[in-house]
């Protein structure tokens, strides 16, 4: 029916952004909100349309291309403005548009009365355009367009309160950290182009394009060795791309920007820094699974970084007082989970976690936003408590979110997290100690997750009403009691809560019911994900072909592990409940509270040396002193030489005569002797 549904999905928000950006200043808030939500709604509708129109094909692993125009074409290099729909991008646009729509709705309420309302929605729409471009691009360069575009919007939105220095700093930090990652990404793309001769994902005979993934599939995989990373082959490509992912998805070592990014308005945090943008790294790695499966060393790195980040961020999350910071570290931690999944080859599990995470983390952020609005822009949990009775809907929806993220059985997070833990434990691609180790880390993280989420809920909604202790400043939004949020904010909470509770059932492990094909998500996404080579057999559930004989024992193992993680989750919840109900203001270790001093270390070891070095060494010493010194020195030398030679001109005729004689003597001598 529609020839270019993806184009509509992508460009509808851009239209909104353009309209709002150019004319929004003179519009009413209602009109602005309507335009913003409408354009995203259009996107959502067409995303669903595109998905369900081609559902059968997608399940069968077909790719649907939409070619708009050739963007750059020089020599053998070509990058098109073209989109591709496969099951991976299909599922992505579904939840991105859906979640985004509800966040937009939430934001119309949340942002009411703010300066630059139009600006906010223009940025938000622009973000949607970028994010969707990122997802449906059919080549790495166009993906990079979206990749950088979301970075830009993130920059703009974090710095939305541009008179606040911390917001500006956070925005800048986010952009630059992302740029560091992009450096790797770009190098990866260039290396890919060099090796594969193409930056397109797939073949498209209609345009005479050969995909890089087909090249990757045809390669003999690298061995699992440290050296392979630097060999300039496929492992190097994979690692470089992953560097990009660490930036965008806030992994060690580039994660520090994400907590600061909470300086932006809460809907931004929900949309960009929880549900969509930060998962771009996971998307990209999954997208490039054909490359990763040939690069075991890169896989191992991804897994280690993922698991490490998950644990690391979770420990920090326990010790934060800012409600959004807790969620931010939680996000980092969950992203680590997703990468862990990718690293062990369970790309679908990773994507599944992205999917469920989008719902429950968006929910949690919006809930926190609701709390913040209700508390008159208070984010410090020191000054909360007992909000349950003031904000009942917010409380209940957030409780759902908390259970989901903690992996409470049958909530969405349970299924996705469980899939990851199981696949980690059972992965066949990593050598011996790693699966167990990573699994243990994952499990520990799950425990911590349950604890810090419980802490958040307890400190916010239970216990004493600590906000009374601190009188608000008179000018701070008028003060007064906390209150429940308006419908425009509450409705999205409810919708997302329903989602957070239920979407997990799309991916129930097949093992749960003998012989049943419960895991629809798995079956949907798998065709878009590359399978490993023979010597690199994955023993996870991706492979339906793994053999029936093995299946039963694996199924037993999977159920056992699910039980273990359920127990851990419940234990964590309980631990948190009891501990923090008793000591809500328990002082966490300073090391954790100060985030392991990572920011300070970066400042001392990178930022200050660069700044000081540039000022003192490069500018003052080399540029002004050395180079300009040489230039001016040469000029001075010339005039000094001139100044010296002018003394030949003593003014005395006799000395001139002597000089002439001297010249004559030399000349004659030369002529006579020659």
Partner 1 sequence: MEPNQIGINYQAILPETITGGVAIIIMMIDALSRRIERRVAGGLSLLGLAGAAVSVATMWGRNAEPSFRGMIVTDQFRLFFALIFLVVSFLIVLISIRWIQEEQLPTGEYFALLMFATTGMLFMSAANDLVMIFLGLEITSISTYVLCGYRRTDLRSNESAMKYFILGSFSTAFLLYGMAFVYGASFQAGARPAATTNLQLLKERISSGALFSPEMLFAGAAMMIVGFGFKVATAPFHVWSPDVYEGAPTPVTAFLSTGSKAAAFAAFCRVFILTLAAAPIAESALMHSIHSVWVNALQVMAILTMTLGNLVAIVQGNIKRMLAYSSIAHAGYALVGMVASDWKAVAFYLLSYVVINIGAFAIIEVFAQRGDKRTEISDYAGIGFQSLGLATALSLFLLSLAGIPLTAGFMAKLIVFKSAWGSGFHVLVVIAVINSAISWYYYLRVIVAMFFADQQPEFKAPTLNRSFAAALVLTIIATLYLGILPGRVLDTLDRATDQISRARK
Partner 2 sequence: MRGETILFVVFAVLALVTALNVLVQRNPLYSALSLIGTLASLSAVYMTLRAQFIAAVQIVVYAGAIMVLFVFVIMLLNVPKDQPQVEKQKGLRYLAIPFAGLLIAETFTVLQRLPARSMPPLPASGGDQAVGTTWSIGTALFTDYLLPFEVTSVLILMAVVGAMVLARREND
Partner 3 sequence: MAPLTWYLGLSALLFTIGAVGVFIKRNAITIFLCIELMLNAVNLALVSLSSFFGDIGGQLFVFIVMTVAAAEAAVGLAIIISIYRNRESLNVDEVDNLKL
What's the min distance (Å) between Cβ of 628 and partner 1? Answer: 16
Residues 648-667 that bind partner 3 (CB under 8 A): 649-655, 657-658, 661
Contact status: 649 vs partner 2 (CB under 8 A): no
**Span from 107-115, 250-258, 573-581, 644-652 in contact with partner 3 (CB under 8 A):** 644-652
Q: Which stretch binds partner 2 (CB under 8 A): 216-224, 229-237, 427-435, 663-671?
A: 663-671
Burial class (CB in 10 A: 0-12, 13-18, 19+), 670: exposed
H or E segment at 368?
helix 347-374
Q: Whose structure tokens read 């300070």?
A: 600
Contact call for residue 474 and partner 2 (CB under 8 A): no
**304: which residues sit within 8 A by CB, 6+ positions away?**
343, 438
Q: Is 606 in the site for partner 2 (CB under 8 A)?
A: no
Query: Could you tell me the sign of the dihedral formed by the alpha carbons of 578, 583, 585, 589, in that order?
Result: negative
From the number of C-beta atoms within 10 Å of its C-beta (0-12, 13-18, 19+), residue 545 rates as: exposed
Q: Using CB distances below 5 to 8 A depending on partner kind, what does residue 674 bind out of partner 3, partner 1, partner 2, none?
A: partner 1
Rounded to a whole number of angstroms, the minimum distance from the CB of residue 645 to partner 2 is 17
- CA-nearest of 395, 115, 104 to 271 is 104
Residue 484 has which token pair?
A: 């429940």
Window 610 to 639, contacts with partner 1 (CB under 8 A): 635, 638-639
Q: Which is nearer to partner 2, 634 or 652 (CB)?
A: 652
* Binding characters for partner 2, 276-315, by CB under 8 A (x = yes): ----------------------------------------
Q: Is 632 a binder of partner 2 (CB under 8 A)?
A: no
Q: Which residue has the tokens 């073209």?
A: 82
Nearer to partner 1, 622 or 668 (CB): 668
Residue 601 interacts, among partner 2, partner 3, partner 1, none and using kind-specific CB cut-offs from 5 to 8 Å, with: none
- According to the binding rule CB under 8 A, does residue 28 interact with partner 2? no
In whole angstroms, what is the distance from residue 674 CA to residue 662 CA?
17
Question: How far is Cα 564 from Cα 326, in angstroms, rounded to an integer?
Answer: 25
69: partner contacted, choices partner 3, partner 1, partner 2, none (Cβ within 5-8 A by kind)? none
What is the distance between the alpha carbons of residues 481 and 460, in angstroms, rounded to a whole number?
15
Please say whether the beta carbons of 241 and 199 come within 8 A. no
638 is a contact residue toward partner 3 (CB under 8 A): no
Query: Which is it for strands 77-85 and 64-74: parallel, antiparallel or unpaired?
Result: antiparallel
Half-sphere exposure of 323 (CA within 13 A, CB side): 31
- Can you read off the two tokens belonging to residue 337? 């989970």
**625 versus 643: smaller Cβ distance to partner 1:** 643
Site string for partner 1, 458-497 (x = CB under 8 A): ----------------------------------------
74 binds, among partner 2, partner 3, partner 1, none (CB under 5 to 8 A by kind): none
Instruction: Using CB atoms within 10 Å of the CB of residue 33, give its burial: 0 to 12 exposed, 13 to 18 middle, 19+ buried.
Output: buried
Interaction partner, residue 641 (partner 3, partner 2, partner 1, none; CB < 5-8 Å by kind): partner 1
Q: How many CB atoms lie within 10 A of CB 178?
A: 25
**Nearest-approach distance from CB 670 to partner 3, in angstroms:** 18
Choose one: 126-134, 224-232, 594-602, 642-650; the region binding partner 3 (CB under 8 A): 642-650
Residue 641 makes contact with partner 1 by CB under 8 A: yes
Least Å distance between CB 632 and partner 3? 24
Contacts to partner 2 from residues 517-546, by CB under 8 A:
none
Complete DSSP assignment for 207-275: GTB--HHHHHHHSPPPPS-HHHHTTTSHHHHHHHHHHHHHHHTT-TTSTTHHHHGGGS-HHHHHIIIII
| Contact in structure between 539 and 553 (CB atoms under 8 Å) | no
674 binds partner 1 (CB under 8 A): yes
Q: Which stretch binds partner 1 (CB under 8 A): 295-303, 521-529, 573-581, 645-653?
A: 645-653
CA–CA distance, 540 with 346 (Å, rounded to integer): 7
DSSP string, 457-477: HHHHHSS--GGGGSPPPTTST
Are the beta carbons of 150 and 57 closer than 8 angstroms? Answer: no
Closest CB to partner 2 among 69 and 670?
670
Number of shown-chain residues binding partner 3 (CB under 8 A)? 12
Q: Which stretches of the chain bind partner 1, using CB under 8 A?
A: 635, 638-639, 641-643, 645-646, 648-649, 651, 653, 656-657, 659-660, 662-664, 667-668, 670-672, 674
Q: Which stretches of the chain bind partner 2, using CB under 8 A?
A: 650, 652, 654-655, 658, 661-662, 664-665, 668-669, 672
Q: Which stretches of the chain bind partner 3, using CB under 8 A?
A: 646-647, 649-655, 657-658, 661
């Amino acid at each position: 029916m529609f020839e270019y549904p993806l184009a509509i999905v992508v460009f509808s928000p851009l239209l909104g952004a353009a309209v709002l950006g150019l004319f929004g200043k003179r519009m009413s808030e209602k009109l602005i909100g309507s335009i913003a939500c409408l354009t995203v709604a259009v996107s959502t509708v067409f995303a669903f349309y595109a998905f369900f129109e081609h559902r059968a094909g997608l399940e069968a692993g077909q790719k649907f291309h939409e070619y708009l125009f050739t963007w750059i074409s020089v020599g053998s290099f070509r990058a098109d403005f073209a989109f591709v729909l496969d099951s991976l991008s299909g599922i992505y646009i579904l939840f991105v548009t859906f979640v985004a729509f509800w966040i937009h709705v939430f934001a119309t309420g949340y942002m009411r009365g703010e300066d630059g309302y139009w600006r906010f929605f223009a940025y938000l729409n622009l973000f949607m355009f970028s994010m969707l471009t990122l997802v449906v691009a059919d080549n790495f360069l166009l993906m990079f367009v979206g990749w950088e575009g979301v970075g830009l919007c993130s920059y703009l939105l974090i710095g939305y309160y541009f008179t606040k220095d911390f917001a500006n700093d956070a925005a800048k930090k986010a952009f630059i950290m992302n740029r560091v990652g992009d450096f790797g990404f770009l190098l990866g793309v260039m290396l890919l182009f060099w090796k594969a001769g193409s930056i397109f994902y797939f073949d498209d005979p209609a345009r005479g394009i050969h995909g890089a993934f087909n090249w990757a599939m045809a390669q003999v995989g690298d061995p699992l060795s440290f050296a392979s990373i630097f060999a300039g082959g496929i492992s190097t490509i994979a690692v470089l791309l992953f560097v990009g992912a660490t930036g965008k998805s806030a992994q060690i070592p580039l994660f520090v920007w994400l907590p600061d990014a909470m300086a932006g308005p809460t809907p931004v945090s929900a949309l960009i820094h929880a549900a969509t943008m930060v998962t771009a790294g996971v998307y990209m790695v999954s997208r490039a699974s054909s490359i990763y499966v040939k690069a075991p060393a890169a896989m191992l790195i991804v897994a280690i970084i993922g698991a490490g980040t998950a644990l690391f961020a979770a420990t920090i999350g326990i010790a934060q007082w800012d409600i959004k910071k807790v969620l931010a570290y939680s996000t980092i931690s969950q992203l680590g989970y997703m990468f862990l999944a990718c690293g062990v080859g369970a790309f679908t599990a990773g994507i599944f976690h992205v999917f469920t995470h989008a719902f429950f983390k968006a929910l949690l952020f919006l809930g926190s936003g609701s709390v913040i609005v209700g508390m008159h822009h208070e984010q410090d949990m020191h000054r909360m408590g007992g909000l349950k009775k003031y904000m009942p809907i917010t409380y209940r929806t957030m409780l759902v979110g908390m259970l989901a993220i903690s992996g409470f059985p049958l909530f969405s997070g349970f299924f996705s997290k469980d899939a990851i833990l199981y696949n980690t434990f059972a992965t066949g691609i990593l050598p011996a100690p790693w699966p167990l180790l990573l699994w243990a880390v994952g499990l520990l993280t799950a425990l911590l997750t349950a604890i810090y989420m419980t802490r958040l809920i307890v400190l916010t909604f239970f216990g004493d009403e600590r906000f009374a202790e601190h009188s608000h400043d008179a000018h701070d939004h008028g003060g007064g009691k906390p209150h429940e949020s308006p419908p425009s904010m509450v409705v999205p909470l409810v919708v997302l809560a329903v989602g957070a509770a239920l979407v997990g059932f799309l991916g129930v492990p097949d093992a749960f019911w003998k012989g049943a094909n419960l895991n629809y998500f798995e079956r949907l996404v798998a065709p878009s994900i590359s399978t490993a080579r023979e010597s690199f057999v994955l023993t996870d559930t991706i492979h339906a072909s793994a053999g029936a004989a093995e299946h039963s024992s694996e199924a037993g193992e999977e159920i056992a592990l699910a039980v273990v993680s359920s127990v851990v989750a419940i234990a964590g919840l309980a631990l948190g409940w009891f501990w923090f109900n008793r000591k809500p203001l328990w002082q966490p270790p300073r090391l954790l509270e100060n985030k392991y001093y990572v920011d300070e270390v970066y400042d001392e070891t990178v930022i200050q040396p660069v700044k000081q070095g540039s000022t003192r060494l490069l500018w003052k010493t080399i540029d002004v002193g050395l180079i300009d010194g040489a230039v001016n020195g040469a000029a001075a030398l010339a005039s000094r030489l001139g100044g010296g030679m002018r003394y030949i001109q003593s003014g005395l005729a006799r000395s001139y005569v002597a000089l002439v004689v001297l010249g004559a003597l030399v000349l004659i001598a030369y002529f006579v002797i020659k």
